[in-house]
Amino acid sequence: MSSPPSASASSSPPPCPKKMITLRSSDGATFEIEETAALQSKTLENMIHENCASTLIPVPNITGEVLARVVEFCSKHAEAGVDDESLGAWDEEFVAVDHTTLFDYIRAANFLEIPTLLDLGCQTVADMIKGKTPDEIKKTFKITTACTPEEEEEVRGENQWAFE
């Protein structure tokens, strides 16, 4: 005689308990994420399939603030029945943050291997770079190390054809 493995002690167990995974950020904050949403991240997906996801998963490179937003992103993208247009609008709002946070998202997406977030973040940065002159790019992203004048001359000369 076997009893159902997920028999619960309470009188009316929920028909389909959502499995939650707990993540801990670098500064000790914990976040719960549904398993379906966690599958957005390949890293977490691998851990789930190897059954390592039952205990707390530490995410050392990412702070609590960023991790919270990443969890939000995954949950939104795992939602059923959201049409592309509204999801796109939500995504646009999601990346309307300051540059530092945006780069944090990209690094988090890279670490957790979330292709959708990585694409979104990288494309947003790419759109910020496009259409700007080198000086504007340097200013926007606070790039302080430039090429030497000689190197710049060389590249400019080699690619003069690109400028009308």
**Among 62, 74, 95, 112, interactor with other proteins by CB under 8 A:** 62
Coil, helix or strand for 96? coil
Q: Does 152 bind other proteins (CB under 8 A)?
A: yes
106-125 residues in contact with other proteins (CB under 8 A) are: 106-107, 110, 118, 122-123, 125
Instruction: With both helix axes pointing from N to C terminus, report the angle between 99-112 and 115-129 in degrees, rounded to the nearest 10.
Output: 150
Q: Does 99 bind other proteins (CB under 8 A)?
A: yes
Q: Are 117 and 70 in contact (CB under 8 A)?
A: yes
Q: Does 55 bind other proteins (CB under 8 A)?
A: no
Q: How far is the CB of 133 from other proteins (least distance, A)?
A: 6
Q: Does 138 bind other proteins (CB under 8 A)?
A: yes
Q: Which residues pair with 34 in a beta bridge?
A: 20
Q: How far is the CB of 159 from other proteins (least distance, A)?
A: 4
User: Which residue type does 51 have?
Assistant: N
3 token code pair: 């009893």
18-47 residues in contact with other proteins (CB under 8 A) are: 26
